[in-house]
Amino acid sequence: MSADFHFSITATDGAARAGIFSTPHGKIKTPVFMPVGTQATVKAVTVEQLNEIGVQIILANTYHLYLRPGSDVIQRMGGLHKFTNWKKPILTDSGGFQVFSLGDMRSVTDEGVIFRSHIDGSSHEFTPEKAIRIQEELGADIIMAFDECAVPDDRSYIEMAMERTHRWAKECIQTKRREDQALFGIVQGGIFPDLREQSAKFISSLNFPGYAIGGLSVGESKEEMFRSIEIVNAVLPTEKPRYLMGVGTPYDLIEGIRRGVDMFDCVLPTRLARHHAAQTLKGRENLLKSENISNPEPIDISCGCYTCRNYSRAYLRHLINVNEMLASTLLSIHNIFTLTELVRNIRKSILENRFESYVNSILKGLSA
């Protein structure tokens, strides 16, 4: 790991860990939830609103930014931090997950993936080298190895994709040039315990500054997901940060942290917001329902977010009902706050050696 990056574990409680990950744009207290800013903005919120929530790091998507406005444009504008005015750490994914999600619009070879843009059908190719170059142009603090995220049921395909992911991981390390970016490796292997173990061992052997667990939360059962996390984390070095990709319900955050995960990202809080749903530690709730028409209470009386401190359910319901953009903003703020505050409180419980009692009290009230 270059001098710009340093991970230290401050406290553990069972397998749960509280740490600090230092990056060129500041320290991240882990465990951490990272909101997703797919197209160089977390949808419907400003960087000031993210700062007020206490967001420490945001994610941006390489596939989307490569297509629009182009990673070359963002590089010329001074990189993602300058472009977006977000001064804290940023993580970019490798584009792998998105291009593999294109289905019929892409074909995979051992060299990479040829795909058509979902916007205009134009043809493009991502290789491990290309994915790293694009991420170097974007300029995030943490960048991801190019991997193949395969669906969880076909063992022979999963195995082939895993081996390809391993070869590509080495290519990513070889091609990487910037010293101010930390490249994380990604463990694949689907829901197969032996493949997960094999992948965790191989990826660990490449000595990345951090490790991600990919290919989960893609249709497998909760039991399969949690078992896979356990298998992988038993192999990954304890002294490096661990990132569970694409996971972001309160339940999954708790169960991930319980198994030693340090970082999470998910589009869920902002996506739910745009669909009128509030996430609380009791579950999800569509605010458009008519009981809210004259309800002067906030979404959650115990929530300290800007939205709950200032707005009634009646106002939020009205904004949703008349299709005002402010509804998405206020609900996104609440939903991101819910996950950020949960993880902040979990971190505190780890530092105070009361993780189990804290998360069990949360799990008791949780329905989604």
Is 367 a residue that touches its own copies (CB under 8 A)? Answer: no
Q: How far apart are CA 136 and CA 129, in angstroms?
A: 11
Please classify residue 357 by burial: count the beta carbons closer than 10 Å to its beta carbon, then call 0-12 exposed, 13-18 middle and 19+ buried: exposed
What is the nearest approach in angstroms of its own copies to the Cβ of residue 268?
Answer: 18
**Residue 97 or 311 with smaller CB distance to its own copies:** 311
Is 44 a residue that touches its own copies (CB under 8 A)? Answer: yes
Contact 73, 39 (CB under 8 A): no
Q: Catalytic pick from 141, 147, 262, 265?
A: 265
**Residue 121 or 296 with smaller CB distance to its own copies:** 296
Is 324 a residue that touches its own copies (CB under 8 A)? Answer: yes
Is 54 a residue that touches its own copies (CB under 8 A)? Answer: no
Omega before 298 within 30 of 0, i.e. cis: no
- DSSP string for residues in 284-302: EEETTSGGGTT--S-S-TT
Reference 349, options 338, 337, 361, 365; nearest CA is 361
Q: How far apart are CA 80 and CA 61, in angstroms?
A: 11
Q: For its own copies, which residue of 2, 10, 26, 68 counts as binding (CB under 8 A)?
A: 68
Contact 264, 212 (CB under 8 A): no
**Residue 198 or 292 with smaller CB distance to its own copies:** 292
Q: Residues binding its own copies: what is the number (CB under 8 A)?
A: 35
Write the DSSP symbol of residue 215: S
Each as own residue / partner, the long-range contacts of residues 258-261 (CB below 8 Å, 24 or more positions apart, any chain) are 258/14, 258/15, 258/16, 258/355, 258/359, 259/15, 259/226, 259/229, 259/230, 259/233, 260/15, 260/16, 260/17, 260/229, 260/233, 261/31, 261/213, 261/229, 261/233
Is 310 a residue that touches its own copies (CB under 8 A)? Answer: yes
Is 46 a residue that touches its own copies (CB under 8 A)? Answer: yes
Q: Catalytic pick from 93, 141, 262, 300?
A: 93
Is 98 a residue that touches its own copies (CB under 8 A)? Answer: no
Q: Active site includes 265? A: yes
Q: For its own copies, which residue of 109, 286, 294, 360 counts as binding (CB under 8 A)?
A: 294
Is 336 a residue that touches its own copies (CB under 8 A)? Answer: no
Q: How far apart are CA 63 and CA 49, in angstroms?
A: 26
Segment 21 to 40, residues that bind its own copies, using CB under 8 A? 39-40
Is 61 a residue that touches its own copies (CB under 8 A)? Answer: no
Q: How far apart are CA 171 and CA 158, in angstroms?
A: 20
What is the nearest approach in angstroms of its own copies to the Cβ of residue 367?
Answer: 28
**Residue 52 or 163 with smaller CB distance to its own copies:** 52
Q: For its own copies, which residue of 78, 219, 237, 365 counts as binding (CB under 8 A)?
A: 78
Is 319 a residue that touches its own copies (CB under 8 A)? Answer: yes
Q: Active site includes 194? A: no
Q: Which residues bind its own copies (CB under 8 A)?
A: 39-41, 43-46, 64, 68-69, 73, 76-78, 83-85, 293-294, 296, 310-312, 314-315, 317-319, 321-322, 324-326, 328-329
- The residues carrying an active-site annotation are 93, 265
